[in-house]
Structure 1
């Protein structure tokens, strides 16, 4: 086959694959009709004063309705389960710092959608307190996988405490991290850093409730400045709350160092 014809064939196949995927994406979100009477999972988030509960993204999976696509590796046809999502805003329990949301296990519809995972968490209420040009960064997120599938952000990286009653609990320390970067465009952001990835991810297939309690330590702010040029030996400079600083190849603050500083400060009280 001539090279030009091969190129045209490859392009056509790629477009076909995209049409398969985009067509499914356009059709599937309207098919959700959650049925709470078939069972629910109660999510509770204890939100510290300076933070706010994020909108929840709830993902349902269907093994009945599937998508056909062509693999980018060998151009062979593959079939995968379909996914559909909806957004929920956790509601504050009056007079408390607890925010709640109820997830229907059965997503309803002809595709027989079933709850797969939920993404939620906390973020800064007002990033502008660190400067008018400061934007919200990453961190403070949680992903609970209720079936055997991995989330779009990967599989489990954390082990939650699950009680005999089916309550999955996560209690985690977070520190504010103000970062200024230059490579790829100047940007200042305020994030929540801990000893996990951007998202804490765990599997809880038998959970009937999920409790998330982020323990926030706003007085232990760590600042960092990224390199201005990309070359060997350049790294990010971290300024820790005890006055120390160091240039490191890591991309986020040293959580163990922050924990040690906080514990030492608390021991002096």
Structure 2
């Protein structure tokens, strides 16, 4: 299965390589008066499942010590604490829920910076023999300047409700791999929002499996060789296209 390759995973790798990071107390102890973010995800299919929330807490108390690759000087940056929070299925429904403390407390005074939520295929063979689950889709919800410094986040005031539409996307890789994966394709694979006074995030996606888009990779890297994207209506994207046109798939 293709894993989500994002900041959360990169941070875990950094902590494993950084011996100093191991000394930081990452224990969370939310105070009794903390605000909470209620997260609700509606699973759209028996073949998909919400992945555990990927939560990032930051600390101005327990900072990271880094070294400049340019001159070897040491400097400090905000401390990071990535945490995975599992969602729980609500009764016998297709709703999954979790809670995130805005103030993580602890000796380092951890504060919520951002979190990822979303869904991914966990069963792919219903759409083709030999298919394996591919990449996930969802949203990144940010709460501070540290998370939104790249300028890609749109601010939303109050509670957040997202209802994106997804379609199946089959990728046939022929170069250095024979794996064929089934992913979810949306207008945006990950929506980036900054929450202002947000205490509830609802993610209610829909999935239409009647329209399947296929990507056929090249067998060799050579002049004139291009991957092929085949839309549900049988039409082929122009040469050099690397991302399917969501509007074309979504058109009735």
Same fold at TM > 0.5:
yes
Aligned to 1:22: 18
Q: Which of these residues, 66, 69, 80, is aligned with residue 66 of structure 2?
A: 69
> Residues 54, 75 of structure 1: CA spacing in aligned structure 2 closer, same or farther, 3 A cutoff?
same
- In the alignment, structure 1 segments of 5+ residues that lack a partner are 1-17, 264-269
The answer (yes or no) to whether the contact 1:235–1:247 under 8 Å persists in 2 is no
Secondary structure class of the residue paired with 1:72? coil
Which of 38, 44, 51 is equivalent to 2:40? 44
Q: Matched residues in 2 for 1:19 and 1:253: separation? A: 36
Distance of aligned partners of 1:73 and 1:181 in 2 relative to their CA distance in 1, 3 Å threshold: farther
Question: Equivalent of 2:250, from 250, 259, 262?
Answer: 259
Residues of 1 paired with 2:57 and 2:234: CA distance? 47
Note closer, same or farther for the CA distance 1:88–1:211 as it changes in structure 2 (3 Å cut): same
Give the direction of change, closer, same or farther, for the CA distance of 1:229–1:219 in structure 2 (3 Å limit). Answer: same
Alignment partner, residue 79 of structure 2 = 82
How much does 1:192 deviate? 0.8
Instruction: State the TM-score, normalizing by the size of structure 2.
Output: 0.84
Q: How does 1:158-177 map to 2 (within 5 A)?
A: 159=154, 162=157, 166-177=158-169
Q: Which residue of 2 aligns with 1:248?
A: 239
- Work out whether 1:236 is the aligned partner of 2:223: no
Q: Match for residue 185 of structure 1?
A: 177
Shift in CA distance, 92/184, structure 1 to aligned 2, threshold 3 Å:
same
**Counterparts of 2:247 and 2:24, CA distance in 1:** 44
User: Cα RMSD (Å) of the superposition?
Assistant: 2.5
Q: Are 2:26 and 2:108, in contact at CA under 8 Å, matched by a contact in 1? A: no
Q: In the alignment, does 2:202 pair up with 1:211?
A: yes
Distance 1:58 1:35, change over 3 A: farther
Instruction: Note the C-alpha offset of 1:248.
Output: 3.4
Q: Distance in 1 between matches of 2:16 and 2:79?
A: 12
What does the per-residue CA deviation read over 1:121-147, in whole Å, with 9 as the maximum and x for residues that have no partner?
Answer: 001131233445422212412111111
Give the direction of change, closer, same or farther, for the CA distance of 1:129–1:19 in structure 2 (3 Å limit): closer
158 and 23 in structure 1: CA distance in 2 versus 1, 3 angstrom threshold? same
Q: Is the 8 A contact 1:20 1:69 kept in 2?
A: no
Q: Assess, with a 3 A threshold, how the Cα gap between structure 1 residues 111 and 43 changes in structure 2: closer, same or farther.
A: same
Q: Which has the higher helix share?
A: 1
Decide whether the 8 Å contact of 1:222 with 1:238 is kept in 2: yes
Change in 2 beyond 3 A, CA 1:78/1:248:
farther
CA distance in 1, matches of 2:83, 2:90: 22
Query: What is the CA–CA distance in structure 2 between the aligned matches of 1:71 and 1:132, rounded to whole Å?
Result: 49
Q: CA deviation at 1:225?
A: 0.5
Normalised TM-score (structure 1): 0.79
Cα contact 2:155–2:196 (8 A) shared by 1? no
Aligned residues: 238
Shift of the 171–160 alpha-carbon distance from structure 1 to 2, 3 Å rule, reads: farther
